[in-house]
Amino acid sequence: MPRIRIEEISEGLYLLRVDDDRVRSFEAIWDVPEGATYNAYLLKTEEKTILFDGWKRDYESEFIEALKTLTRIEDIDYIVLHHTEPDHSGTLPKVLELNGYKAKVLGHSVAGRLVNGFYGLADKMDFHAVEDGEELNVGSETLKFLHTPWLHWPDTICTYIEEERILLTGDAFGGFSMPGSIFDEGDMSEYMHYVKKYVVNVVGHYKQHITKNTEKLKGIDVRMIAPMHGIIWKNDPGRIVSFYRDIAEGRVEEGKVLIVYDSMYGFVEGAIEHIMKRLSDKKVKVFKFTDREQDSLSEILAEVPDSEAIVLGVSTYEAGAFPMMEFLARQMAHKTDYRKPVLIVSSFGWGGAAARVIEGILKETSFEMKGAVEYRGRVRDEDLRAIDGILDMLFQGGEQDTGNP
Ligand SMILES: Cc1cc2nc3c(=O)[nH]c(=O)nc-3n(C[C@H](O)[C@H](O)[C@H](O)COP(=O)(O)O)c2cc1C
Ligand SMILES: [Fe+2]
Ligand SMILES: [Fe+2]
């Protein structure tokens, strides 16, 4: 049985949270041994019952049971879709069926098309596309819907419960893992790491929209931020907003260097060991792919935004770059496109190719290629001298720009 939390987080507003400890690869790609939560909410006023989102379909029967502890499902008047990715909309068909399709479904116009595409609900569902800023009176409370596109999909909206000053934010301001607490309290450092990992892996490609939308939400007086993953921000909602912004803008932790390399038989590793010695006064984070260790790509990507410089060590593999490193470079280009200096070191046997492949991928991005050192087999003194020269250049940039427009 998964752990389920049903709690009244403010008068008449309930959290329904399931801790997904079965998910191994979020969206079938990002490894999350820490798990994830899906947070739905139910608001009961004297007049209306409003359900916000749902859970992944894997937990359909648990969701229905949880919901029944708070309301009769036939009594739900509105269902708000903040974002229709199936980790939140998977339970919608069952809820609507048990509700007799009486509830009005509210969301972005794109959300209507998406849930119809996923679940074929067009003929049965009473869908209303909400405008940006549209308000809905539900008795003692007023709901205001705000379009916040691309957090995480084009369909994303937030709901501001005006009288309560609570903002329901969908994926935005969420994080991975299954925190012991439902609110922001105690030591948050471990959770913040999982927030960073979530932002980069899931929303990273749309990071400009984090900046745009947080700007848009800035004017709203918010007492509590309630996202669809992880912690609810009751004590310090401003913290999660600025944390998201910092990631989106690639704010640097001074002196932090990210080193990622592969090494099949230790030849790339030779250069990396030298680099690590040279950078011993820096905060170096090292990840590797060797015959003994395979580090996590989702963890590696999470370290890009606040790194000051990046070193990639890559071996030549079948006339190209080692596959994991090529994939990493592509995802860096896709999700963590920041203006940061990069050094590449590469070893080959009979003809170098790997450095060119990685450079080719990063060339189209904001990353600044400071140089590539390629060598045959083991690293030699002249290669180390060349590497040292580039290392010096990595930290000459001073204050870094983010690469964001
Ligand atoms: C599976 C495999 C494929 C390789 N493909 C190439 C290649 O296409 N071109 C090349 O020059 N060297 C190739 N090599 C040789 C390696 O690039 C070379 O030995 C390099 O020093 C490996 O560094 P590493 O031991 O740190 O991984 C290959 C080696 C292996 C094991
Ligand atoms: Fe999503
Ligand atoms: Fe989500």
Percent of the chain at pLDDT > 70 equals 98
Measured in degrees and rounded to the nearest 5, phi and psi for residue 23 equal: -65, 130
Which of 380-383's residues contact partners 24+ apart within 8 Å by CB, and which partners?
383/271, 383/345
**SS3 state of residue 99:** helix
In the numeric block, which tokens belong to residue 184?
Answer: 């922001």
Q: How far is the CA of 78 from the centre of ligand 1 (A)?
A: 60
Atom of ligand 1 nearest to the CA of 316: 17
Residues 6+ apart with CB under 8 A from 113: none
Q: CA 271, CA 384: separation in Å to the nearest integer?
A: 7
Contacts of 206 (CB under 8 A, 6+ apart): 150, 151, 152
Ligand having the closest approach to the CA of 151 = 2
In a mutational test of the pocket of ligand 1, which residue from 261, 269, 348 has the highest number of ligand atoms less than 8 Å from its CB? 348
pLDDT band at 218 (very low <50, low <70, confident <90, very high): confident
163 pLDDT exceeds 60?
A: yes
CB contact at 8 A, 19 and 3: yes
Q: How far apart are CA 358 and CA 372, in angstroms?
A: 10
User: What's this model's pTM, rounded to 2 decimal places?
Assistant: 0.94
Structure letter (DSSP) for residue 199: I
Give pLDDT, residue 403: 43
Which atom from ligand 1 is nearest to the alpha carbon of 269?
Answer: 26
Average pLDDT (139-157) is 96
Residue 270 Cα to ligand 1 midpoint, Å, equals: 14
Taking the CA atoms of residue 109, residue 170, residue 52 and residue 96 in that order, the dihedral angle to the nearest 10 degrees is: 60
Cα–Cα separations (whole angstroms), residue 315 to 63, 186, 287, 376, 386: 48, 44, 15, 10, 18
Of 318, 324, 374, the residue with max ligand 1 atoms within 8 A of its CB, to mutate for a pocket test, comes to 318
Q: Is the pLDDT of residue 305 over 90?
A: yes
Q: How far apart are the first and last CA of the chain?
A: 46
> In the chain, what percentage of residues exceed pLDDT 90?
96
The ligand placed nearest to the CA atom of residue 111 is 2
Mean of per-residue pLDDT scores for the chain: 96
Which tops the pLDDT comparison, 398 or 357? 357
348 Cα nearest atom in ligand 1: 17
360 C-alpha to ligand 2 centroid (Å): 30
pLDDT at residue 5, rounded to an integer: 98
Q: Averaged over 64-80, what is the pLDDT?
A: 98
In this structure, the residue with its CA closest to atom 29 of ligand 1 is: 317
Q: Give the per-residue pLDDT at 404.
A: 42
Determine the 3-state secondary structure of 303 from DSSP. Answer: coil
Task: Let me know the angle formed at the C-alpha of 243 by 229 and 16, rounded to the nearest 5 degrees.
Answer: 15
Ligand 1: nearest atom to the Cα of 378: 21
Please determine, for residue 398, whether its predicted confidence score (pLDDT) is greater than 80: no
Quick check: helix, strand or coil at residue 391? helix
Mean pLDDT of 37-52: 98
Residue type, 204: G
Ligand nearest to the CA of 154: 2
Alpha helices in 218-291 (DSSP H): 237-249, 267-278
* Ligand 3 center–CA 395 separation, angstroms: 37
Per-residue pLDDT, 395: 86
Q: What is the pLDDT of residue 402?
A: 41
- Smallest CA separation from ligand 1 atom 31, residue: 264
Residue 283 has pLDDT above 90, yes or no: yes
Q: Does domain 256-393 have CATH number 3.40.50.360?
A: yes
Of the pLDDT bands very low, low, confident and very high (cuts 50, 70, 90), residue 321 is very high
Buried-exposed string 29-42: b where 16+ CB fall within 10 A, e elsewhere = ebebebbbbbbbbb
Confidence band of 396 (pLDDT split at 50, 70, 90): confident
Pocket test for ligand 1, best of 259, 260, 264 (most atoms within 8 A of CB): 264
Instruction: Report how far residue 355's alpha carbon sits from residue 22's, in angstroms, rounded to the nearest whole number.
Output: 38
**pLDDT tens across 220-245, in order?**
999 999 999 999 999 999 999 999 99
Q: For the chain, give every domain's residue range.
A: 4-249, 256-393
The answer as to CATH 3.40.50.300 being correct for domain 4-249 is no
Q: Two tokens at 225? A: 């931020």
The pLDDT value recorded for residue 208 is: 96
Question: What's the token pair of residue 222?
Answer: 């918010």
Give residue 86 CA to ligand 2 midpoint distance, Å.
8
* Nearest atom in ligand 1 to 267's CA: 26
User: From the CA of 385, how far away is ligand 1's center (Å)?
Assistant: 23
Q: How many helices (H) and strands (E) does the chain have?
A: 12, 20
Confidence (pLDDT) at 87: 97
378 Cβ contact partners less than 8 Å away, ≥ 6 residues apart: 267, 270, 347
Per the CB < 8 A criterion, the answer to whether 302 and 254 are in contact is no
d(CA 216, CA 202): 21
pLDDT of residue 36 exceeding 60 = yes
Residue 401 has what pLDDT?
Answer: 42
Tens-place pLDDT, residues 323-335: 999 999 999 999 9
> Cα separation of 198 and 248, whole Å?
12
pLDDT tens by residue, 84-135: 999 999 999 999 999 999 999 999 999 999 999 999 999 999 999 999 999 9
Ligand 1 probe mutation, 263, 267, 316, most atoms within 8 A of CB: 316
- Which DSSP state fits 202? I
- Separation of alpha carbons 348 and 11, rounded Å: 65
Mean pLDDT of 336-364: 97
pLDDT band at 397 (very low <50, low <70, confident <90, very high): low
Ligand approaching nearest to the C-alpha of 152: 2
**Lookup: tokens for 247:** 């990631």
**Ligand 1 center–CA 247 separation, angstroms:** 36
Find the residues whose C-beta lies inside 6 A of ligand 1: 263-269, 315-319, 347-351, 377
Q: Is 55 left (phi over 0), alpha (psi -120 to 50) or beta?
A: beta
Give the pLDDT mean for 292-298.
Answer: 97
pLDDT at 175: 98
